[in-house]
Amino acid sequence: MLGRYVIVAILAIFYGNLAGCRMLVNNSRNQSLLAARQLSLRGTDALQRGRQQDAELLFSQALANSTNDERAQWGYAKVLWSSGDKSKALEHMNEAYRLSGKNPEYAVALGEMHLDQNQYDAAKTLALDILSSNRTHTSAWALLGDVHRNQKDWPSALECYHHALLLRSDFPKAQFAIADIYQRTGRPERALATLDHMVDLHASVAEDTEHLVLRGLAFADLDRPLEAKELLAKGSERLSSDQWDQQLQIIEAQIRLGDLVQARMAMGRVPLEQASNPQIQRLKSRMDSDFIRLAKTESMGTNSDEKKTSEPELIRGVYLAEPGSPSTIQR
């Protein structure tokens, strides 16, 4: 009987110690998570202030404390993405999305990353998951529109963007996308009207790079070359290197307008790693042909001028005789 009591006492001590250990472990984890969240808040502030290196250090320190902080996963994904490590960034954004309980904002961010990598099905699934529970999420409609636009399903894309605008009338992302679709589908007047409406809402939009490019392309399609050339040249200078597909749109329009010098300058802004792209090769070939044709035309014009200046001036009523013959004057 005494032995039984001893055993019970030993078990009680054992489980008591075990519970105590668990409490210590849980308390340690909570402290680590709290420290991670504090670091994440500082990292988010650094990110908003444009201090990229500080943000990367703070988010990595947060994750060293605890990998269970969704904001640290989100922030680290953002800095990795901007530094070019996109596959690793996707992993951390996926983890942020999971830890957050499928937060819609993280879902949109993750969807945009998938879209950038041409993973259309994954991006579409995320957009539809959000809309299945919240039909008024404007960014989810815009994400779904982006998927359709990248797949060149213009009617479906327009429908999604108009859904977004019904929910938020002043939504530049959707408005620019709509103007782009109108321009690509041969409706420059509609594109221009959309851009004009944006400027009416916010005058500062007129200097936005995307606005300059789309407006220039619309003017080119409307056969307004003077306005188009100026806007396209300015837009080309402002585009970042990763926007080379828009740069190609500008080059094509500049070639059509005969603005070959600006087209060649714009081609110089396309990253070298894209040199083998068939569309770039086609535009380069077309540009070279136009330069050769222009040079020949100018050469012919110069020769014609020289010929004219070398011919003697004919005076009315005076005819030049053959060499060696006396000139005759006829009245």
pLDDT in tens, 12-32: 555 555 555 555 445 556 788
For 271, the token pair is: 């990253």
Determine contact, residues 92/73, Cβ cutoff 8 Å: yes
Which pLDDT score, from 0 to 100, does residue 27 have? 58
pTM, rounded to two decimals: 0.77
Per residue in 266-293, pLDDT (tens digit) is 999 999 888 889 999 999 999 988 888 8
Q: Where exactly does CATH 1.25.40.10 map onto the chain?
A: 170-275
Answer yes or no: is pLDDT of 119 > 90.
yes
34-88 belongs to CATH 1.25.40: yes
Per residue in 210-236, pLDDT (tens digit) is 999 999 999 999 999 999 999 999 999
Distances 133 to 83, 136, 249 between C-alpha atoms, Å: 34, 9, 38
Hey, which CATH number is domain 170-275, 3.30.420.300, 3.20.20.80, 3.40.50.300, 1.25.40.10? 1.25.40.10
Which pLDDT score, from 0 to 100, does residue 37 have? 87
Other C-beta atoms lying within 10 Å of the C-beta of residue 116: 16
